[in-house]
Structure formats: C-alpha cells, structure tokens
Amino acid sequence: MKKWIWFLLLAVSYPLSAIGFAQYPKALTDDLGRKVTIQAEPKRIVTMLPSLTETLCAMGACDRLVATDSFSDWPESVKKLPKMGALFDASPEKIVALKPDLVLISVYGKLQEPLERSGIPTFALKVESYGDIFRTTRLLGEILNHKPAAERLVAQIQQQVYAQESRAAKAKDRPTVYLEIDPTPYTVGPGSFIGVLIAKARGQNIIPKELGDFPQVSPELVVQKNPQVIVLTHPGAADLAKRPGWARLRAIQANRVCSFTGGPDNLLSRPGPRVAEGLKLLIDCLHPELR
C-alpha cells in the first residue's frame, strides 16, 4: 500500500541525488556482502585503509575525517589526524572513543565485529585491483551522497592514466619486468593492480597469470625468465646482486633496477587516486628514454 510512495520517492530521488540532495537512510551492500544502512550523511568518518583516505580526500571530503589508520599519509592534512592502528593492530577502543558515524574498514581486519557491537556503523571495502579504484570511488560517492564528485574524480583519474598511457605508447620496446614487493620473494601477477600498471607502462610481467595476484615465486623462475628490468618496492636493491645466480641477470648487468621506497612505493601499492603518478614512475623506469 505504501509501496507506491516509496517508488515515487525513489523516482524523485534519483535526479535529486545527482545534484547532491540528501537521500538517507540509504541501504548499500559492502564488500563483505553485508547490507549496510547509512542512516544519515556521515560527518565523522574514520578510514582504516590509506587508499580510502586518499580517495575520500581527492573527492573533497577530507574535512569529514576524524581519524585514519597509521599508514595514511596523503594528503598532507591527514598526517596530523589521530592514528587508529593498522590491519593487525587496530584499536577499536580508540575508534569508539572518537564517536565516528561511519568507519570505512578493510574486509580483512574483522573490525566490524567490535565496532558494530559498540553501535558504530562500519562499511567494509576491498581495494585491490585496478578496477577497484573506480568501483570504490563510486561507492564512496554513494555513501557520502556525492555522486558528482565521485564521477569527477573517476574521470580525472582515467584522464591522467590515459595521458601516461599515450606517453608510454611512444616507447620503442616492451621490456620484460620482474616486480618484487618483498624479498622472500613475493611478486605480482598480471591480474593485480600493479600488474595492470606494468602492462599500461608497456612492460611485460615475467610472472604467468596462473600464479595468482601476489605469488611467492622460486628465484629459479626469475633467473630463467631473465628480466630486463627489476622493480622493487622494498629497500633491498643492494642485495639483489648477492643473491645466488642473480648477478648475471640482464637487469642487474645493465643496472636497470628501480627501487621505490619511503613514499613513492605507496604510489605503486595503493590503488587510489594517485595511480597515474605510480604509472608515471613505472614508465620512467621501464622507458628512461621517454623521461
């Protein structure tokens, strides 16, 4: 009986929301598959992933943040916000004490349980692939009821990425690349966020797709594939040549090892609004002649 009223409201709300009218409560499905109802426009937000912090701020909602996780460090203004810990050492108590009206969490930390018990609404997001960048940006637009800003940000990121891609298109070759995120050694598959960036930067990832997104590989594989370029997102560049059999790799012989640490590595490891900057770093590394 009341159904038609809801229908009407919904019909009206769509154009309204496009211009930023509040449409709460709002039911959304988060990346844990939970139905989450946002009761009112969130004004006190805690982000527990650096990429979410960056996306939120890039959308112009930085002023709504009351705290972030310990790794969030961009933009500059979030550095002075209280830090709530990270995936393994997050402090629900500190978060509850801040009385946020929404906590954006990772799907992995299980933070939703203690926070929901304390009556703090949480929304879990999985930000891993290249496509996740745009999906989460739009989701955050929904949550904040700020779709135009989200769409603007998506368009802006895509444009920046496209600009870098066209720059890379001028490259004369497609070097083979081994990208190491951790010295044990963990690397990235072509399907992962960084894997997509490698392809966009006109590089060929030596890791086959079947190994998954973040496989631990045998050093034998790297020696066999003999990459032309090695990219590290950890500070171990000096040790590469000391690894058994690695001194003869083409990348090391030609000194084509790029090591991104202490800041720039974040551009490559965070699927967020600064992805084009990360792409630029990769292109500069793979194709020094384009610099």
Partner 1 sequence: MINAERQPLPTRYASRALVFLGLVGLLGLALVLGVGQGAVYVSPGAVVRALTGAEPDPIVSDLRLPRVLGAMGVGAALGLAGAAFQGLFRNPLADPYLMGSASGAAFGVTLAVSLAGTLGASYSTSQIFAALPSYVTLFAFAGAVLAVAVTLLLSGGAARTHDLILAGVVVGAVLTGLTTYLMLKDADRIRAVMAYTLGNFSFMGWDGVRAIALYLALSLPFLWILGRTLNALSLGEETARSLGLPLGGLKLLVIGLATLLTAASVAYAGIIGFVGLVAPHALRRLVGGDYRALLPASALGGAVLLTFADLLARVLTRPAELPVGVVTTLLGGPFFLYLLWRGRRNV
At 17, the amino acid letter reads: S
The 81-100 site mask, x for binding partner 1 (CB under 8 A), equals -----x-xx-----------
At 276, the amino acid letter reads: A
From the CB of 244, what's the least distance to partner 1, in Å?
Answer: 4
Q: Which of 184, 255, 263, 289 binds partner 1 (CB under 8 A)?
A: 184
Q: Which of 243, 252, 284, 290 binds partner 1 (CB under 8 A)?
A: 243
Of the candidate spans 135-143, 169-177, 234-242, 271-279, the one that interacts with partner 1 by CB under 8 A turns out to be: 234-242
In whole angstroms, what is the distance from residue 9 CA to residue 216 CA? 52
Of the candidate spans 6-14, 168-176, 218-226, 277-285, the one that interacts with partner 1 by CB under 8 A turns out to be: 218-226
Six token digits for residue 251: 């990348």
Q: Which residues contact 75 (CB under 8 A, 6 or more apart)?
A: 54, 57, 62
Kindly report the backbone phi and psi dihedral angles of residue 196, in degrees, each rounded to the nearest multiple of 5, phi listed first: -65, -40
Q: Which of 115, 217, 267, 286 binds partner 1 (CB under 8 A)?
A: 217
Number of residues that bind partner 1 (CB under 8 A): 31
Burial class (CB in 10 A: 0-12, 13-18, 19+), 89: exposed
Q: Verify binding: residue 26, partner 1, rule CB under 8 A.
A: no
**Closer CB to partner 1, 38 or 206, in the complex:** 206
Sheet holding 65-68, edge to edge: 65-68, 45-47, 102-106, 122-125
Q: Verify binding: residue 219, partner 1, rule CB under 8 A.
A: yes
Place of tokens 């083979």: 176
Are 265 and 197 in contact by the 8 Å Cβ rule? The answer is no
Contact footprint for partner 1 (CB under 8 A): 86, 88-89, 182-186, 208, 211-212, 215-221, 223-224, 234-236, 238-240, 242-245, 248
